[in-house]
Amino acid sequence: MIQGLVLLFAPVWAPALTIYVSPKGSDGQAGTLKAPVRSFARALAIVRTRPTGLSGRIALASGDYPVDDTIELGPKDDGLTVAGGGRARLLGGKAVAGWKVASDPRLASVARGKVVSVDLKAAGLTPGELRLRGFHDGKAPSALELFSDGEPMTLARWPDRGEYAKVEAAKGPKSFAYAGDRPRGWKTPNDPWIFGYLRFDWCDTYDRAVRLDPEGRTIELSREPDYGIEAGRRFYFFNVLEELDSPGEYFVDRRAGRLYFWPPAPKGDTVASLLEGPMFRLKGASNVVLKGLRLEAGRDGAVWIEGGRGNRVDSCLIRNFGTYGVSIHDATGSGVAHCDLTGLGSRGIELFGGDRKTLISGGLYADDNHIWKYSRWPRTYQAGVAVEGVGARVSHNLIEDAPHNAILLAGNDHVVEFNDVRRVCLETGDSGAVYMGQNLTMRGNQIRSNRFRDIVPTVNTAGAFTNVMSVYLDDQWSGTTIFGNVFEGRGTGILIGGGRDNVVENNVFVGKDPAFHIDQRGKDWAKGKEKDLLEQARGLKVDEPPYSVRYPRLASLFQEDAMTATGNAFVRNVVAGKRPFWFQDGLSEKDLDYRDNVLMMDTPLTDVLRKAPPGFKPIPLTRIGLTTKARPAGVAR
């Protein structure tokens, strides 16, 4: 199987030089099957000596391989395959040993005798620094993190996980008053931080509390949060030793140089992240395949691919990194397939490629991946798959269990198909599982044959719009086709926020509230966005080829009222629920191409499909989601 994949990305006549690696090997050996080398670095050095025309392969035996520095691959590594058989773990951290029961008087009484600690220097650990993160800071690497038996642990916090404190009142652009006296019990607050949704439920903030006044119940932050601070909003403190009061929490005392931890189990594999940069960085390399590897525990990302072509990350387990899983930039025809990605600090997969000026596709793809429990640090706009550019394909993925988006789209002619998306937008409001927005020119995108389940509102902030959408075409987004999808459960199915020329056809909605929402915000509160939107369009010369040819409706954009929600269609859909539509700003069915739809009360999905209108094309439910056989979580294929 591996040899077949090598041949797929290398000339069929080129034999491969294979170098074998084993934790039991020696770097003084030749790297043969019977005399393997010990380190990846040595294997790479040997394989780079291969004669011209000979492709390379590094085969890693089962076991752990520490990665202290980024593995850099470039044009000299073209055609290289790195294969691990699913059991070779490249580790960007190290197992922590030398724990002793902690006796620090700052510990809560419930934690005494249960919390252990270790000297950072003696354990060979560097603490790193906490960094500002949130709505505009999604790419900041992490400080030291702990993982126990493959699961991320929690930096000591109050209130405990899943709960929040409340903002009582804003006290200035960077300050607010809070409710409660819990911080009065902190003996010597050591660098407390806060996380919160301080104004909107789609905008998060991580910041240092540069001044904490427990008596006055006030906090001063290091910077002014995006969009300000508002009473009634939610936040929590973290990085407080006194709040290390439950299993799975830890604290790094940077002043004293100690690590504290309450293990969730008596015995477990506890790993601390150390690697500062990406584990793999491909720059200008082509036809490189990373297959069957377990990549774990770095403070930044797992795989960064920039330039080149035909690179592929295949059948890998990628977990517990401080930022992204795989990030691909302008590497034509490259992608991620059959991988498991979890425990990531920000995004799962990034596909950035193609030329928006010429509308030439980058050919990037994310296919048949399971992506879950990502966006651990910044909680908003860190999608399972984020796409920018032209012509990417996101297909057959299972994306689940995340605080905000599953898929972010920007650009043209992308295809999102056969994905199973469930339990996302779990702690945000006014958010979308598939989200795109604020553009009139990013057209030609297709969202087809996907299934959306359990995407429901979970927050109830007073006075705020807290519904969540399965597909959210925000702020004038236009020219998207949504065909043949299934939308199940509460929450909004599709929201068109003032955009034009969007087609909603042949979909099934069951129990949505509402199934379809459209408004005319471009003629109301969003009118001020018109100048910027038209400047974007003029910069691309959308009234000239290739845009005017690919998207004929753009040829007359500058002669029309671009902020009018016109050209939209709702055709041949089946809607089962109490509220099929929510029209705003005076719109109605008469403002759409509205025809051949079937409306009914709540009905099970199997019965709904039997009542589809004439001409309705069957939805291939059995083809949606992962294409490979199910396997235990955390096992690379």
User: Given 255, 272, 289, which residue is the final one in a domain?
Assistant: 272
Average pLDDT, the chain: 94
Cβ–Cβ contacts within 10 Å for residue 591, how many?
Answer: 17
pLDDT at residue 635, rounded to an integer: 46
The full length of the chain comes to: 637
User: Is 74 within the bounds of a domain?
Assistant: no
pTM value > 0.85: yes
Please report, for residues 152, 439, 529, 534, the alpha-carbon distance to residue 587 in angstroms, rounded to integers and kept in the order given. Answer: 47, 21, 20, 23
357 plus 482 within the same structural domain = yes
Q: Report d(CA 177, CA 167) in Å as an integer.
A: 6
457 plus 350 within the same structural domain = yes
267 plus 350 within the same structural domain = no
pLDDT at residue 2, rounded to an integer: 33
Q: What pLDDT, in 10s, does the model give residues 181-223?
A: 999 999 877 789 999 999 999 999 999 999 999 999 999 999 9
pLDDT at residue 596, rounded to an integer: 96
User: Is 280 within the bounds of a domain?
Assistant: no
465 plus 579 within the same structural domain = yes
User: Is 489 within the bounds of a domain?
Assistant: yes
Spatial CB neighbours of 618, under 8 Å, sequence gap ≥ 6: 609
User: Given 249, 272, 295, which residue is the final one in a domain?
Assistant: 272
260 plus 354 within the same structural domain = no
- Do the beta carbons of residue 36 and residue 58 sit within 8 Å? no
- Residue 293: pLDDT above 50? yes
419 plus 531 within the same structural domain = yes
Q: Say if residue 28 is exposed, middle or buried (CB neighbours under 10 Å; 0-12, 13-18, 19+).
A: exposed
255 plus 373 within the same structural domain = no
- Residue 15: pLDDT above 80? no
User: Given 239, 272, 305, which residue is the final one in a domain?
Assistant: 272
pLDDT at residue 10, rounded to an integer: 40
Q: Report d(CA 588, CA 584) in Å as an integer.
A: 8
Q: Report d(CA 258, CA 141) in Å as an integer.
A: 21
pLDDT at residue 621, rounded to an integer: 94
- Residue 315: pLDDT above 70? yes
> Mean per-residue pLDDT for 552-567?
96
260 plus 356 within the same structural domain = no
Q: Report d(CA 182, CA 609) in Å as an integer.
A: 54
What radius of gyration, in Å, describes the C-alpha atoms of the chain? 26
pLDDT at residue 637, rounded to an integer: 47
266 plus 389 within the same structural domain = no
Q: Which domain holds residue 352?
A: 346-623
pLDDT at residue 14, rounded to an integer: 54
Q: Domains in the chain: how many in total? A: 2
- Residue 13: pLDDT above 70? no
> Mean per-residue pLDDT for 399-416?
98
246 plus 361 within the same structural domain = no
User: Is 141 within the bounds of a domain?
Assistant: yes
Better pLDDT: 255 or 6: 255
- Residue 336: pLDDT above 50? yes
254 plus 381 within the same structural domain = no
- Residue 555: pLDDT above 80? yes
Q: Predicted confidence band at 629 (pLDDT cuts at 50, 70, 90)?
A: low
Q: Report d(CA 54, CA 16) in Å as an integer.
A: 6
- Residue 542: pLDDT above 70? yes
User: Is 49 within the bounds of a domain?
Assistant: no
353 plus 237 within the same structural domain = no
Q: Report d(CA 182, CA 412) in Å as an integer.
A: 50
Q: Report d(CA 246, CA 191) in Å as an integer.
A: 20
User: Is 5 within the bounds of a domain?
Assistant: no
User: Is 152 within the bounds of a domain?
Assistant: yes
User: Is 164 within the bounds of a domain?
Assistant: yes
